[in-house]
Structure 1
């Protein structure tokens, strides 16, 4: 199966994602953090009418940066939350992953994936939705099993070391920043 290309808005960052859709699990997340991350990076078009963001959860070894590695940055919206990656060239949100190299997990925001059209396995955090969540809601259990199976296989097979997001010493390739208070208020919808 050929790789699927993820591109930022200005095409300066190009990432090949292997085995879409069989190499990962498609989902739509309605949590306030995913929605805030999209808003922070001016990607409100990527939020569906109910407030969901389409994600493709896979392992980092399936992502290969073709161009623009020097244009990746990350941030944390909460002190213990995931690293949320975006591009510095045009401020396109890429997705989120575990804050530790040893946990091989990454969810790509599908808006940048070419010809992506996968039915979500689950619609997560529906209680945080801004409107009626379309059915079928899918199975959170199926999503968790699918993600866990891939993470465990990557750990056991040693593929967890092959990640474009961490150096060999386990440090993120970009220092995680934190948006300022005003940006956070706007992203979460609490600004006046």
Structure 2
């Protein structure tokens, strides 16, 4: 179990690192959206490539942030029911959900989407829209994203079993207890740090 916990923490660090990097995609998407809108309005110079780039960025944020959301225990759940149970019962519910719902879903989508992405890479598929982008990076994000989600599911499963055996505290996987005000402040501070980093370059 000690080795599995080390693996779980490695997966946690990997998905945290990816989520922190992909968070920049939001700023890029906003800049692309604003630039595209201004160019279209003032210069009548719209481009399908810019529109598709926005879709790619949003897809990357969704797919590569989902594992981090799971790690933080921020995914949608029926807390109004489960909070009435003991912590051990809640953990068993999580284990049931991971084994019978999350992991099968993630593995199935990974299995079905990988050939789809590989064929797109092989054919160097291009967008059907005039001036559009290559398609395979967007299609490749699907199996990669669900592979990372499956990995995070394994990590969460390991941590739940470790908790049941008394090896770790529930704080390692419980939902962050920040208030909405604290979350807004954290987002604001993170954005200010990004702006300062850009200005210093």
Pairwise same-fold verdict (TM > 0.5): no
TM-score by length of 1: 0.28
- Larger radius of gyration between Structure 1 and Structure 2: 2
TM-score by length of 2: 0.27
